[in-house]
Chain A
């Protein structure tokens, strides 16, 4: 870590923590949405430690999200409504699962690795619906009940309890701040990893495994460490989901959820420190906007058009909004991959470079 990184983390922290003050300007000033930003941002930052640093593309990280959620729920049900143990257990348990899954999946690389991770995640998803129903409560999902043992604090709560942090409730903005602080810590750790010799080794794995092996370095443990760390981030994000809303369902582990974090990372910029977080925000922000549109809203928007044209436009546009928002996401993703393969971060770099050029041209012109 050098001075620049410290400043980066400080600015990041300041921007995140002040979000409730200014996110309203862009229509994102709801705690629900801000919580999502923080949770999925954390998920993507952790995913980037594997995909961005080592180049290994996992298509099964949602499994760890689900494992984290279930673990945290059980911590709430069995131990206490305090979020701290839930978060710690979830991180540890998803780390153990990542160790086992990673150990097997990392026997292969490239597309085979991706397929193996996908297969494991689908296995977890299916098991959550079938044999593991006693743990996951199947299709209904795992919820809190008034009869949960909660051996540490059952006596102090009555009725259906809610999550808390040493007595402070975690709904609304409290929940956001809780997630935000964990996000900032997660970001800080990822920056440190990136600058460490361990991080350099991960980048070396991505660059040339053959040279790495013939330099006396064993690539396997490096990859496995990265896999476990990113699995732990995912588990932590899963735990935060149930801290905010204590309900864990298996759909969280579906392959679409694994795919979403891949999109976030690529959209923002694979392998950059901030990119994955930006990708997560962009996707969650537009999901929020686009999925809120329905035909009534569209009719209003296109109300100025003659009736028959209005009908055509509305039925066309409705493909892309509401439930069809994923179509928009797909188009956006294609555009990014084709025109801006480095994601949003590359876009920023290009713009910055252009400004710099123009400035130089200006000052050169002025000197004449």
Chain B
């Protein structure tokens, strides 16, 4: 398998605090790579370095989604990074709360077809049939088609997450980053989200990097797990190996058994 993302020697300090300390990581194409670790371990900082939102003090991140020789994403604005095929799901679902689900779904479809800016003011948004079709398609993929005319602000957290995932998928990304996709969800919503992510995984080969707190989610989805503690990757391997690893339990679970 070839890698889609390689991280080498990444360091990041916040005014003296070492948030990331010489992090090395390879994300294989098509894998579901979970990054776990206690609060304050540097997981979000790491994700932000991956998408160029933060620029590390030293080290490199190379993305192989478009070019075989890889490219660096540092300093690019978020929309440019997204246009390269990297989508992101936020810890708190970010959707267009004032718009209907259908409108929410049309926007990423247009971003995918038209690029980062297009001024086509004259045709009505519904006059391009392919946009409406694609939007309906992705809504039905995540089971939200009946709610298409509702405003997304009135959705439950689980449904917002569904919508957000649908919007990411509408762009047909190569790499999907998920920052605690089930944080703050009830058990039922968590299970629904796991099922949805599994279904997506079966239908499309999208590489995913998941930051997650919930072990149930990690072991249901991940094909590989890296453990981050105090800015350092302390262990890495298949989920089953990680379950029994003493270092992981020490650092992450405070010695408790899984």
Contacts and interface: CB of A to CB of B under 8 A. Distances in A.
A195, A203, A204, A214: residue with the most chain B Cβ atoms closer than 10 Å: A214
Contacts of B79: 212-219
Interface stretch (B24-32, B103-111, B213-221, B230-238): B103-111
A221 interface: yes
Interface residues of B, number: 39
Nearest to A225: B119
A214 B98 contact: no
A28 interface: no
Interface in B42-100: 77-79, 82-83, 87-88, 90, 94-99
B111 A217 contact: yes
Contacts, number: 107
A215 B97 contact: no
A208 B97 contact: yes
Given A196-B120, A208-B94, A214 B125 contact: no
A222 interface: yes
Contacts of A2: 124, 126
B174 to A, nearest CB: 13
A206 interface: yes
A217 B116 contact: yes
B117 interface: yes
Contacts of A1: 124
B98 A203 contact: yes
B129 to A, nearest CB: 13
B94 A196 contact: no
Contacts of B121: 192-193, 196, 198-199
Interface residues of A, number: 29
B206 interface: no
B131 interface: yes
A196 B126 CA distance: 8
B167 A215 contact: yes
Contacts of A211: 94-96, 164, 167
A197 interface: yes
A contacts with B: majority SS = helix
B125 A217 contact: no
B124 A196 contact: yes
Contacts of A219: 79
A189 to B, nearest CB: 9
A211, A216, A218: residue with the most chain B Cβ atoms closer than 10 Å: A216
Given A196-B124, A213-B77, A214-B87, A204 B119 contact: no
B123 A197 contact: yes
Interface in B180-214: none
Contacts of A216: 79, 82-83, 108, 111-112, 115-116, 171
A210 to B, nearest CB: 6
A201 B106 CA distance: 10
A193 B125 CA distance: 10
Nearest to A218: B116
Contact of A222 (B77, B106, B108, B117): B117
A287 B123 CA distance: 39
Nearest to B131: A197
Contacts of B98: 203, 206-207
Nearest to A193: B121
A71 B61 CA distance: 53
A305 B206 CA distance: 82
Nearest to B85: A216
A196 B122 contact: yes
Contacts of A198: 118-121
26 contacts: A2-B126, A192-B122, A192-B124, A196-B120, A197-B125, A197-B131, A199-B121, A200-B103, A203-B99, A204-B96, A204-B99, A207-B96, A211-B95, A212-B79, A212-B96, A213-B77, A215-B79, A215-B82, A215-B108, A215-B111, A215-B167, A216-B82, A216-B111, A216-B171, A217-B116, A218-B116
